[in-house]
Amino acid sequence: MRKYALILAAVLMSLSTIAQDFSWGFNLYPNFSSRRLIALDASISQNDIRRLDSLETGKFSLSAGLQAGWRGEKLGFRFGLGFGETGYQTIKMNIPGDTPNPDNASQNKFVYRNFNILLPVEFEFAHKLDTKNSFYFLLGGTGIFNVSNQVKEIRYFGDTSERQDAPLPETPFRFFHFAIQSGMGWENHLSENTTLFLQPTFHFWLGGLFENNVSLNRSLYDIGVKVGMRFQQ
């Protein structure tokens, strides 16, 4: 009985220590997002995949969010709520002569954008460098709820360009996604209650963008630097 009482006391003391290090904050995440192709139909050849892969590339994306959590001496836990824009685009291509082209554009490309609500959960492993600076490594996951999708066609007329809406794919987008995330960060304590952090981060979506009844799907990933402020309580 005494052993269990000591264990309970130790747990309560640890929770009390972590609770004293509660913080909340905000972050901005500029990143480079792209996609990988997922062929689900054996009739799609490797040549088809390589050709399509050569026509698609990544794009600049941006996310922002709020975050809260606890940090002990070595371990931390954080959760958040954010909103993000991600996706990919095609390269600039010449418009074939047999394609309807009332504006007489010479080239075009398509930009695919997905807008999502983000629910990240992170576990941190921290190391204190000195009284003002810390380094940490994180692992976690993000629940992603797709709220809107957009395709823009950019048409080029020599030195000028024009952006216009393009039809969305007929295949429905999946509503919920899950991504794994990892990263490492540096934080600087500007004052007793304010911390600046810089965090190179990588996200990898585990499922495809579209429902599973498609022959060719795409899974997104992104890499960037998350920057933000935390306020200790």
How many C-beta neighbours within 10 Å does residue 33 have? Answer: 26
* Rounded Cα distance, 88 and 58, in Å: 5
**Among the listed residues 5, 29, 16, the one whose alpha carbon sits nearest the alpha carbon of residue 226:** 29
What are the residue boundaries of the structural domains of the chain, listed by start?
2-232
Count Cα neighbours of 10 within 13 Å in the Cβ-side half-sphere.
Answer: 6
Q: Which of 187, 181, 182, 200 is nearest to 232 (CA)?
A: 187
Neighbours of 114 (CB within 10 A): 21
At residue 222, what are phi and psi to the nearest 5 degrees? -150, 155
| pTM of the complete model | 0.86
- Phi/psi at 41 (5° precision): -125, 125
Q: Which residue has the tokens 């139909």?
A: 41
Which of 112, 106, 108, 116 is CA-nearest to residue 57?
Answer: 112
Which CATH number describes the domain made up of 2-232?
A: 2.40.160.20
Per-residue pLDDT of the chain (233 residues; tens, 9 = 90+): 555 455 544 444 444 444 558 999 999 999 999 999 988 777 788 888 899 899 999 999 999 999 999 988 889 999 999 999 999 999 999 887 667 766 777 888 999 999 999 999 999 999 999 989 999 999 999 999 999 999 999 989 877 888 999 999 888 999 999 999 999 999 999 998 999 999 999 999 999 999 877 888 999 999 999 999 999 87
Measured CA to CA, the distance from residue 173 to residue 175 in angstroms comes to: 6
Which parts of the chain fold into alpha helices (H)? 2-19, 46-55
Distance CA 63, CA 223 (A): 12
